[in-house]
Amino acid sequence: MNFTLYPIYGLADELDGEPFDLTRLPFDITEDVRIEAVGERFRPGTFDPHKERLGTYVVEEMERVRFALVHRYNPSRLSWTRRSSVNRTATQILKNW
């Protein structure tokens, strides 16, 4: 199972002062795409091997992500051409959401 994460930097409580009910997560958006709490899924140092290539700032930003739109898909069922199409489709769905 592959996945793509699109960070969400804030939920309702951070934007309008009203607490967001975290028990509603994960929240389905569309087939195979949902909002999830991802902050606890990564151990400290998970992104350290990427500091040299991405830079310290980017890695620190990645470590701060608490919530994300997550697209899950099984690439073994897809041809190479179809995989590219699925990635583009997922990206477009999330951009339009």
| Structure confidence by residue, pLDDT tens digits, 50-69 | 899 999 998 898 888 999 99
pTM score, whole prediction: 0.67
Mean pLDDT of 44-50: 89
Domain edges within the chain: 2-96
Contact present, 94 and 33 (Cβ < 8 Å): yes
User: Between 30 and 87, whose confidence is greater?
Assistant: 30
Distant-in-sequence, close-in-space partners of 3: CB < 8 Å, separation ≥ 6: 70, 71, 72, 73
The encoded tokens of residue 82 equal 């179809």
- The per-residue pLDDT for 90 is 60
